[in-house]
């Protein structure tokens, strides 16, 4: 069995709760604005 253990750095941040809540709020406000102003 051959296993590739190559590791490469990537500019990806771990999704913290604060980031997820902020993104969720942005999406909800955007969708609510569409409904209110239509």
Residue 32 placed within a domain? yes
Question: Token pair for residue 24?
Answer: 């969720």
Compute φ and ψ for 37, nearest 5 degrees: -95, 10
Give the per-residue pLDDT at 2: 84
Residue 34 placed within a domain? yes
Residue 4 placed within a domain? no
* Mean pLDDT value across the chain: 87
Mean pLDDT, residues 24-38 taken together: 91
Q: Which residue has the higher pLDDT, 37 or 24?
A: 24
Question: Residue holding tokens 């209110």?
Answer: 36
Question: Residue holding tokens 């997820």?
Answer: 20
Residue 2 placed within a domain? no
Question: Token pair for residue 3?
Answer: 């296993």
Q: Which residue has the higher pLDDT, 35 or 12?
A: 35
- 0.75 exceeded by the pTM? no
pLDDT of 12 higher than 90: no
Residue 35 placed within a domain? yes
Number of domains in the chain: 1
Residue 1 placed within a domain? no
Residue 27's domain comprises 14-38
Residue 31 has a CB neighbour count (10 Å cut-off) of 10
């Amino acid at each position: 069995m051959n296993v590739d253990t190559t590791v490469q750095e990537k500019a990806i941040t771990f999704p913290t709760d604060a980031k997820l809540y902020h993104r969720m709020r942005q999406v909800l406000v955007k969708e609510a604005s569409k409904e209110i102003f239509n």
